[in-house]
Amino acid sequence: MPSSDKPTRKLAAIMFTDIAGYTEQMSKDEDKAFALIKKKRELLLPLVEKYEGKLIKEIGDGTLTSYFKADNAIDCASTFQSKTDTDLNVRAGIHTGEVIVDKEDVFGDVVNVASRLESIAVPGSIFVSKETIDKLEMSDKVNLISLGMQSLKGVGRLIEVYAIKDESIVVPNPDDYTENKIDVHSDDEVPSIAIIPFKNKGAEEDVFYAYGISADLITDCSSAGLIRVSGLSDIEKLDYTNLDNTELSQKLFVRYISQGMLWKMGDMFQLSIELYDTKDKKVVWSDRWQEKWDNLPTIKMKLSDGLLKALDTFSKSEKTVETTNTEAYELYLKAKYMFSNSRDMDNVRGLLKKAIALDNNLIIAKNLLGLSYRVMNNSSKAEKIFSSNLIEAENTGNLLCMGMALGNLGAISEKKGEYTKALDYFTRALESHKKDDDKNGIAKAYCSIGFIIWKRFNKREKGIEYLNNSLKIFEELGDKNLSAMTMSYFATIYNDMGDLDKALVYNKRGLELSKIIGDKYSILNLSRVRAYYYDKIGAFNKALDSALCVIE
């Protein structure tokens, strides 16, 4: 049996309180200051017990308490503040999320955010996060005043903050909280962003930290609903270190540019993030902060949470930290960097197997292990790994990894000529992406299904139906690359059906998009096909023009 001393993860509401002006009072009159702590304890501790909370620790004039129901945390804080007076000026902050419970203590980002909420609260008030409000069972009975999306400087977090509004509680003036308030994306257009790989400011051998976190950050944000995120491969085609935000925006067809820095110094990381809006020409969010080496697995989740909040985009499924084992995550990041930059698959697999040995639940490492075999055409080994990963993802409800496993299994089956099996995998991937509201994943699954139905089963009308669904989403997302690819499929289908007029229409649309994005391979291929279409209908001069484009 596992040891009861082993740290566990639990959902909890964390409340921090402290006495405003306590340090100054202590320097003036120690007896009076101590009397305030005693008075606070006499009021608060019985209420913590009444509302099924737990006193974790007292730090000077501050207290840290935890509750497994957000309603209880707010009821406790509200009742407590209603009993305080002008002598006892207490601030309270509440944040809710997954905490690490180790013996009698709690740790994690939730604790840090609750502490920061308390620090920006006015005496006599209660500040709570949206994450806490979302967990309330009786939210309609709580009166709130919004302070907007606040950048908690020095911790790299964006939190939508509210204050409890009650006649017995001090209510802050929202106008006093504009300095660090973030203007989130509010236009009708679908938000689009390029997440430029973080600069490594440390030693050369530490470059894998910045690269791996950036790559996973792109994956996380890409699957978060109605948002378009530039792929890492598209970014790496550019000399991005020598391009400014406007140039990056123009070349990648995005509105927002995210850039950052990571510097490992001993057992600490120095980090910075900047999100720039090229349309309004302003910095939306920027911050600098430090993280302990032990917090490495949480960095990517904090960054994706902040970027998605700033872009007013929210993942349907709740994201959790992949592992609490920092050494395992570090090995995974090393493997991720090596996979993309050296293709030394033996070393990649060695690192991944070590990571998995340290944490057998690190499914992102297992997916990368499967991919390392797939790219080297070892389909049987890759299929075995992804099949196992799929079962694990289904058991844990990890929709992102479920979709990844199903997509890879579909591609493997298609390559092996097992088209019925491939169609089943892609159809299941579609359902998984729909549950997660992953628009990008949904569109790609529709495209894969449509391609197989048309190309492998010769059901053109049905294939067109799925490809139409795919194209609508790609166009909604503003994804010109995949829109052009899908249009080339349509052109080929209509040519097969003998409808050359429609084939030429889709060919032209695909060619125009390919020219806009500068995809020379697609321009070449579509021009070649266009020459064939014109030749087929006897438009020889137009066929010649298209053929000359191919030669050029």
| Pair type for strands 199-200 and 256-265 | parallel
Please compute the mean of the pLDDT values over residues 502-528 and round it to a whole number.
86
Model confidence at 3, pLDDT cuts 50, 70, 90, reads very low
**Which pLDDT score is estimated for 387?**
97
CA atoms within 13 A on the CB side of 302: 25
Please compute the mean of the pLDDT values over residues 158-177 and round it to a whole number.
94
Alpha helices in 90-160 (DSSP H): 109-120, 130-134
Sequence-distant (≥ 6) Cβ neighbours of residue 69 within 8 angstroms: 13, 52, 137
Cβ count near 46 (within 10 Å):
11
Is residue 216, in this structure, part of any structural domain at all?
Answer: yes
Quick one: 462 and 341 in the same domain?
no
Please compute the mean of the pLDDT values over residues 450-470 and round it to a whole number.
94
Model confidence at 551, pLDDT cuts 50, 70, 90, reads low
Quick one: 98 and 243 in the same domain?
no
Quick one: 340 and 407 in the same domain?
no
Alpha-carbon distances, residue 316 vs 44, 112, 437, 531 (angstroms): 37, 24, 6, 46
Quick one: 286 and 164 in the same domain?
no
- Which of 142, 53, 135, 128 lies closest to 97, judged by CA? 135
Quick one: 418 and 339 in the same domain?
no
Mean pLDDT of the residues in the chain: 91
Model confidence at 113, pLDDT cuts 50, 70, 90, reads very high
- 40-67 pLDDT, tens digit per residue, is 999 999 999 999 999 999 988 899 999 9
Quick one: 480 and 383 in the same domain?
yes
The residues pairing with 96 across neighbouring beta strands, listed in sequence order, are: 13
In whole angstroms, what is the distance from residue 307 CA to residue 299 CA? Answer: 12
Q: Among 177, 207, 222, which residue terminates a domain?
A: 177
CB 115 within 8 A of CB 127: no
Domain CATH number, residue 62: 3.30.70.1230
Quick one: 200 and 272 in the same domain?
yes
- Which of 281, 237, 214, 280 lies closest to 517, judged by CA? 237
Has residue 365 got a pLDDT over 80? yes
Is residue 488, in this structure, part of any structural domain at all?
Answer: yes
Domain assignment of residue 452, given as a range:
363-551
Kindly tell me the burial class for residue 180, based on how many C-beta atoms sit within 10 Å of its own C-beta (0-12, 13-18, 19 or more).
Answer: middle
Quick one: 23 and 123 in the same domain?
yes
Please compute the mean of the pLDDT values over residues 391-411 and round it to a whole number.
93
Q: What percent of the chain has pLDDT over 70?
A: 98
Tell me the residue type at 275: L
**Which pLDDT score is estimated for 542?**
76
Structure tokens at 240: 């991005």
Is residue 187, in this structure, part of any structural domain at all?
Answer: no
Please compute the mean of the pLDDT values over residues 413-430 and round it to a whole number.
96
CB 412 within 8 A of CB 382: yes
Please compute the mean of the pLDDT values over residues 17-37 and round it to a whole number.
83
Highest mean pLDDT among 1-5, 150-154, 382-386: 382-386
Quick one: 374 and 297 in the same domain?
no
Is residue 391, in this structure, part of any structural domain at all?
Answer: yes
The DSSP 8-state label assigned to residue 156 in this structure reads T
Structure tokens at 451: 């391609």
Has residue 399 got a pLDDT over 80? yes
Please compute the mean of the pLDDT values over residues 317-335 and round it to a whole number.
87
How far does CA 428 lie from the centroid of its chain? 22
Quick one: 393 and 480 in the same domain?
yes
**How many structural domains comprise the chain?**
4
**Which pLDDT score is estimated for 50?**
96
Q: Is the dihedral of CA 417, 418, 424, 428 positive or negative?
A: negative
